[in-house]
Chain A
């Protein structure tokens, strides 16, 4: 069916090798190491390590802190991903129409992609500062109502907003490209039949956009689990009172601040399993409804 552009297999492998090498070095090898360490009690500076079988897993799985941060991870995954897909979807639908500013908007909306997560964290830290940020007037009316430094829910909201801002550009580009690839004959036919813009959007453009929507949703779900790290480290450091200690940050804190290499590795393995399960569930439940053929 599809024909390989390369005549010989070795040639293909040669071109692939840099990528395979990088992936092996920065993904497969650390993963293998994490799995190995999860069965040992590993001393921070090397030295003696003790094989403990599944003891690390038993300890982590019976630790309420682990389940608390896994729950927070799940909450963040849903509350952060859904707006990070819906908002770009609205923006893309708006920019897809032939409005006067849509050309400019298409450019401007991509820019945030160039900003690193840590930088976004620093910027939003200022924006949401209770004393000098945009919500300061709220505090003047009702003192203490906005306090991300001490209130866990407020801190969680700042993370969600920062993650949304970070997620807009990529999702916007994908969704806009999907929309622009739709043949306008469908829309014209629908218009002839008397369908208004809303009906066209809901019954024609959205179903036809399903492959792209599925794609960004899967990516956003898995990314929100991992990529929140940069935001957390710069904005909340897992606080206040552990309210934003998602599993990815807990792994960092346990491993790098607590020198608990075994516990951190064990949780890394569990987090990988969690991500795989989420992705598998999405494919099983949702992909059946996605029609790639148009």
Chain B
């Protein structure tokens, strides 16, 4: 690990005063291992600061515990939070923007798509992007070849044509996905260049309203319902593995749209040569825009002394180094999101290695041209909206209501959340 030496040298020049800090994260499995490895590497690289990394079991549990801990005054200085909680945290008054604490850090090196998600309209960066993922399209090469499909589908039209061929060839699960809004509307709307809510998804004001019941988003949701009815699309509970990505790993489903962060486990289960990973499908004739950065970022919490904040900064500096980013990418499939990390990947000649297979398509879709509606999601109580969306569309897939009714219900209930969020933070 040659990249540790300069950091170690840096650590020795500063005063030898050990500061212990805690860092909370939510990932599990192979991603958790990679986080713990980064913590150990940081601790081994210097002896000024010690970070103890504490797993919370999931992003949601991490957020819940952070809220409880903050109210009780025993929260850690550094916490990983997930994308959907961004606005709740920005307005919480419990965090300090990283660009305020570390004005000299090379924030410009972050690719715009990754930075915009965590940045206010006036350019204040609240958190440091960490495990950044985006939506990609995966296929099982052998299953497609067996059905006589030679070209990896690129458009929705081609995906569905391939799914029909697969179904005729006896594949019970041609295309799998889940009912998560992240996949179905957020990433879909972004890459088709349309908003899911007015005010540019809330970036320009708290008075945003959902618009998922109209335009190409509504059309796509209706298509999904039809394709599901036809037996071409399966959701989590309809697969033997009970989860779309596990069903892909098990060779049950031939195609999925999934997070770049899932690549590691797919490659492990099926072999890196047995799968393709490409840009998520577009509708024919539509211009491709950037997808959102998903996953999570690192937030500095208020209420800690200078030494602790300094230690947290050092850890953030370490995680931001191109070397640490590539280490993390290789172990997980998450994307390197700074230009310097991409340059290092290029110059190291490892860009074609299987452990960096997601970097190419991932950067291409994140780096596609954007517009005002593809900066990110800036909507209040958004975590709960994702649940509402899942609940309503599930009822549509079951045939209890039509997809148009499900979308109208989601908009109505979602707008109620937004109004209450507005009222809750009116005092600020």
A163 CB, min distance to chain B CBs, angstroms: 21
> Taking the complex as formed, is B88 at the interface, i.e. its CB lies under 8 A from any CB of chain A?
yes
Assuming the A-B contacts A45-B93, A241-B391, are A259 and B427 also in contact, with contact meaning beta carbons closer than 8 angstroms in the complex? no
> Taking the complex as formed, is B67 at the interface, i.e. its CB lies under 8 A from any CB of chain A?
yes
Bound CA–CA A151/B395 (angstroms): 9
Report yes or no: A260 in contact with B420, Cβ–Cβ below 8 A: yes
Q: Which residue of chain B lies nearest to A255 when distances are taken between CB atoms in the complex? A: B64
**Inside 8 A of B416's CB, which chain A residues have their CB?**
63
Q: Produce 1/0 per residue, A136-176, CB < 8 A to B.
A: 00000000000101111000000000000000000000000
Q: Produce 1/0 per residue, B48-71, CB < 8 A to A.
A: 000000000000100110010011
> Taking the complex as formed, is A253 at the interface, i.e. its CB lies under 8 A from any CB of chain B?
yes
A162 CB, min distance to chain B CBs, angstroms: 18
A169 CB, min distance to chain B CBs, angstroms: 30
B247 CB, min distance to chain A CBs, angstroms: 11
Please report which residues of chain A, range 243-285, place their CB below 8 angstroms from some CB of chain B when the two chains form the complex: 245, 253-254, 256-260, 262-263
Of A47, A147, A240, A253, which contacts B384 at CB under 8 A? A253
B249 CB, min distance to chain A CBs, angstroms: 16
> Taking the complex as formed, is B428 at the interface, i.e. its CB lies under 8 A from any CB of chain A?
yes
Report yes or no: B384 in contact with A258, Cβ–Cβ below 8 A: yes
B381 CB, min distance to chain A CBs, angstroms: 6
Bound CA–CA A47/B70 (angstroms): 11
Q: Which residue of chain B lies nearest to A55 when distances are taken between CB atoms in the complex? A: B423
B181 CB, min distance to chain A CBs, angstroms: 13
> Taking the complex as formed, is A5 at the interface, i.e. its CB lies under 8 A from any CB of chain B?
no
> Taking the complex as formed, is B284 at the interface, i.e. its CB lies under 8 A from any CB of chain A?
no
Q: Produce 1/0 per residue, A45-89, CB < 8 A to B.
A: 111111010000001000101000000000000000000000000
B47 CB, min distance to chain A CBs, angstroms: 34
> Taking the complex as formed, is A43 at the interface, i.e. its CB lies under 8 A from any CB of chain B?
yes
A12 CB, min distance to chain B CBs, angstroms: 34
Report yes or no: B240 in contact with A259, Cβ–Cβ below 8 A: no
Report yes or no: A45 in contact with B237, Cβ–Cβ below 8 A: no
Determine which residue in B390, B391, B400 has the highest number of CB atoms from chain A within 10 A of its CB, and name it. B391
A240 CB, min distance to chain B CBs, angstroms: 5
Report yes or no: A149 in contact with B237, Cβ–Cβ below 8 A: yes
Report yes or no: B427 in contact with A150, Cβ–Cβ below 8 A: no
Bound CA–CA A225/B60 (angstroms): 25
Of A45, A50, A129, which contacts B427 at CB under 8 A? A50
Of B67, B237, B240, B391, which contacts A147 at CB under 8 A? B237
Of B60, B384, B394, B426, which contacts A50 at CB under 8 A? B426
Report yes or no: A44 in contact with B237, Cβ–Cβ below 8 A: no
> Taking the complex as formed, is A239 at the interface, i.e. its CB lies under 8 A from any CB of chain B?
yes
> Taking the complex as formed, is B417 at the interface, i.e. its CB lies under 8 A from any CB of chain A?
yes
B48 CB, min distance to chain A CBs, angstroms: 30
> Taking the complex as formed, is A215 at the interface, i.e. its CB lies under 8 A from any CB of chain B?
no
B123 CB, min distance to chain A CBs, angstroms: 24
> Taking the complex as formed, is A131 at the interface, i.e. its CB lies under 8 A from any CB of chain B?
yes
Determine which residue in A44, A238, A242 has the highest number of CB atoms from chain B within 10 A of its CB, and name it. A44
> Taking the complex as formed, is A41 at the interface, i.e. its CB lies under 8 A from any CB of chain B?
yes
Of B60, B67, B398, B424, which contacts A41 at CB under 8 A? B424
Report yes or no: A150 in contact with B88, Cβ–Cβ below 8 A: no
> Taking the complex as formed, is B242 at the interface, i.e. its CB lies under 8 A from any CB of chain A?
yes
Please report which residues of chain B, range 403-428, place their CB below 8 angstroms from some CB of chain A when the two chains form the complex: 413, 416-417, 420, 423-428
Of B381, B394, B413, B423, which contacts A241 at CB under 8 A? B394
Of A47, A242, A253, which contacts B395 at CB under 8 A? A242
Q: Produce 1/0 per residue, B239-272, CB < 8 A to A.
A: 0101000000000000000000000000000000
Of A50, A63, A150, which contacts B238 at CB under 8 A? A150
Bound CA–CA A263/B71 (angstroms): 18
> Taking the complex as formed, is B321 at the interface, i.e. its CB lies under 8 A from any CB of chain A?
no
Report yes or no: A257 in contact with B398, Cβ–Cβ below 8 A: no
A84 CB, min distance to chain B CBs, angstroms: 27
Please report which residues of chain A, range 105-153, place their CB below 8 angstroms from some CB of chain B when the two chains form the complex: 129, 131-132, 147, 149-152
Bound CA–CA A241/B424 (angstroms): 28
**Inside 8 A of A42's CB, which chain B residues have their CB?**
424
**Inside 8 A of B91's CB, which chain A residues have their CB?**
43
Assuming the A-B contacts A45-B67, A259-B381, are A50 and B424 also in contact, with contact meaning beta carbons closer than 8 angstroms in the complex? yes
Bound CA–CA A59/B398 (angstroms): 29
**Inside 8 A of A239's CB, which chain B residues have their CB?**
390-391, 394
Assuming the A-B contacts A50-B427, A65-B413, A258-B387, are A44 and B420 also in contact, with contact meaning beta carbons closer than 8 angstroms in the complex? no
> Taking the complex as formed, is B372 at the interface, i.e. its CB lies under 8 A from any CB of chain A?
no
**Inside 8 A of B390's CB, which chain A residues have their CB?**
239
Ordered nearest first, which 6 A-B pairs have the shortest CB separation? A149-B237, A258-B384, A241-B395, A48-B427, A45-B92, A241-B394
Residues of A bordering B, CB below 8 Å = 41-50, 52, 59, 63, 65, 129, 131-132, 147, 149-152, 238-242, 245, 253-254, 256-260, 262-263
Listed by A's residue number, 5 A-B pairs whose Cβ atoms lie within 8 Å are A151-B398, A241-B391, A257-B384, A259-B63, A259-B88
